[in-house]
Amino acid sequence: MYACICKNVTERQVREAVVQHGVCSLRGLRKHMDACSQCGKCAADVHAVIRDTLAEQAAFAQQPAAA
């Protein structure tokens, strides 16, 4: 699904920016892919995707290693 329609950025692309490129804020995402820089209506939703992805990464990192 599109996260930022103005810049044609999908939720998947936002998640990839977080995981693969270390993006951890809207400012970082704007620098990385120019998302949320035109009308700004998507900013809250995109911020939620960033926050959720970071939380998922943290939860995954805290899981014990399989024996």
Report d(CA 50, CA 9) in Å as an integer: 13
Note whether residue 49 is domain-resident: yes
Number of structural domains the chain divides into:
1
Q: Has this prediction a pTM greater than 0.95?
A: no
Q: What is the pLDDT of residues 32-57, one digit of tens each?
A: 999 999 999 999 999 999 999 999 99
Range of the domain at 33: 2-59
66 within some domain: no
Sign, Cα dihedral of 45, 56, 21, 15: negative
7 vs 67, which has greater pLDDT?
Answer: 7
Residue 58 has pLDDT above 70, yes or no: yes
CATH code, domain carrying 50? 1.10.10.1100
pLDDT band at 66 (very low <50, low <70, confident <90, very high): low
Instruction: Tell me if 53 is assigned to some domain.
Output: yes
